Chains A and B, each alone.
Chain A
Amino acid sequence: MTATEVLVTRSQAKPPRAKRIPRAKTPHKGAIAVFTGPFGILFLLFYLVPIGYAIWQSLLVVQRDGLYGEPTEVFGGLTQYIQVFQNAPFWESVGRVLLFGVVQVPVMLGLALLFALLLDSPALKGKRFFRLAFFAPYAVPGVIAAIMWGFLYSPNLSPFTGLTNAVDFLSPEMILWSIANVVTWVFVGYNMLIIYSALLAIPAEVYEAARLDGAGQIRIAWSIKIPMVAPAIILTAVFSIIGTLQLLAEPQVFRSFSTAVNSSFTPNMTIYATSAVPNPYLAAAFSVVLALATCVLSFAFLKLTQRKAEQ
């Protein structure tokens, strides 16, 4: 029995359903294609293909026939990755952003949580003003924020000369934390708003029982609010961890203000410097390693917090 015969016999056997069977599977196929097509194609072209291409490039090496021969790309297996793992400045920069993240992310999210809880508590007046004031720095692009703070840290321009004379914010010891301050300044209000929206979504009845039991505001915040907004905090933490590993704009700007920031201060700066050499193959390998490290770290964090939540 051939395929056409099956179709014919089937459609003859059940004439009314024959038309509906394929439609019931996926109705409006054309519309779905119209809806998902443009995004799908763009996602493929500008997300998946570049990633694939970078992986491919990272597996190539350049060979020359003699000193003046034409350079040719040949498959080099993991040659570039061996270079990556032997590159001490790159791993130093990875260590540097990890240290940055371990300190800056908890400080930033701690402040964001504190502000969100205060905004949500009946003890605070003028909520609207504080919400707007704290969120305003998020409108300042990282590059501009870094330029601004760079001037504020410079002893000859800063309005806080007492402070800048006492502490050299642009010294090799301080520069990482000066950058951390810029990032914190920009993003605290944004994270505060995410946590605050989660707090607003908690139904009022939840508090009633606690209040009848005589729990105070601090007790309610600690035992009810924080556990209930934990998913929002985890979300902000994951995005902050990803952002930390990708640090680029702020330290790149600080190179103009301080000699303490070199061209391989963060992993992304190493990638940029390597691609400018130009050594696209090694830069691609750096990119792949950094992307994998980012994935592993954010997944590890998610798993860890999930396991804690289950306990």
Chain B
Amino acid sequence: MSLLTRTRGATATDLPSTRGPRESIMSRTAALLIMGVFTLYFLVPIWWLFIASTKDRGQLLTTNALWFADWNLFANIGDLVSYNNGIYFRWLLNSLAYAGLGALLATVFAGMAGYALGKYRFRGREAFFNIVLGGVLVPATALALPLFLLFSQVNLTNTFWSVLLPSIVSPFGVYLARIYASSSVPDELIEAARLDGSGEVRTFFTVSSRLMAPALVTIFLFQFVSIWNNFFLPLIMLRSQDLFPVTYGLYTWNTQLNQIPELRTYVLVGAFLSIVPLIIAFLLLQRFWRNGLGNGSVK
């Protein structure tokens, strides 16, 4: 075991430690063992879901659940996409629209507000910021019912807007943008733009927003994920399945498994297909997560 660890340690691409003397083999093995066991805990469920999506209905129950049987992934995807007039594809597009559009608008608005709070002095600034900070502590689920009551007053429940509009407000984004703007956009730069005759709004969009890019990407990602994962709002707002996001759609299929058993394959394949793009995007953009999280909790 220790020999194995040593060989692996020697070939690892990580730079040798810059923080101290070489650690003993004992502690290196222990560290690797703990992390290895938990890697299984975190990845095996996803692996199982992948394997399950490649099997047809019969083999799902009869073959080894953690290894391939006949390769049926593309047939399964074909069935899924054609089921019920392609409703699954529609749900995916809905999710993309809610999360993509919602996160984009939320980022623009939060970025502008945070920039104003960080770079300008005006009366009521701290009061404004404190109210927004209070908003950070109000979870989205706590607002779902109040929003439902309000939207039903203006007959907007069960519409695209009833899920999109509440999603474009990101108090956490304002908080992050403010912290980042005050530390990364120098006053001298804004002053120089002013001397060049650039208006304040134009300066923000052409110069300052670029300096704030890491924070803005982070806000976008956070908001995208929180809209994509939001369950209570669609659950309480939406009735017609044409408007469902993919999570809520899969949930409704899952509740019908006892009546329609063939839905099980669709739920599994649909779940797998819906998380693949997210996992890939997450891993590619992880740098931004770390920067943003670091800024939020440390600075």
Interface of A with B (CB < 8 Å)? Answer: 25-32, 34-36, 38-40, 42-43, 45-51, 53-54, 57, 111, 114-115, 118, 121-128, 130-144, 147-152, 156-159, 185, 188-189, 193-194, 196-198, 200-201, 204, 207, 211, 217, 231-232, 235, 238, 242-243, 246, 248-249, 252-253, 255-256, 268, 271-272, 275, 280, 283-284, 287, 290-291, 294-295, 298
Contact = CB atoms under 8 A, between A and B. Distances in A.
A57 B61 CA distance: 50
A197 B297 contact: yes
Contacts of A142: 229, 231
Interface string B194-214: 000001110010000000000
The number of chain B residues touching the other chain, given as a range, is: 35 or more
A238 B45 CA distance: 28
A268 B147 contact: no
A152 B48 contact: yes
Given A217-B27, A246-B142, A252-B235, 19 more contacts: A25-B123, A31-B116, A32-B122, A35-B204, A36-B117, A40-B128, A43-B171, A50-B149, A53-B146, A57-B149, A118-B31, A123-B31, A133-B42, A134-B39, A136-B279, A196-B290, A197-B291, A198-B297, A294-B142
A131 B14 CA distance: 13
B231 A143 contact: yes
B293 A193 contact: yes
B139 interface: yes
Contacts of A151: 52, 268
Contacts of A30: 200
- Majority secondary structure of chain A interface residues (helix, strand, loop or mixed): helix
A125 B32 contact: yes
B250 interface: yes
Given A124-B35, A256-B255, A256-B257, A54 B149 contact: yes
B159 interface: no
A157 B60 contact: yes
A25 B124 CA distance: 12
Contacts of B225: 138-139
B211 to A, nearest CB: 15
B65 A141 contact: no
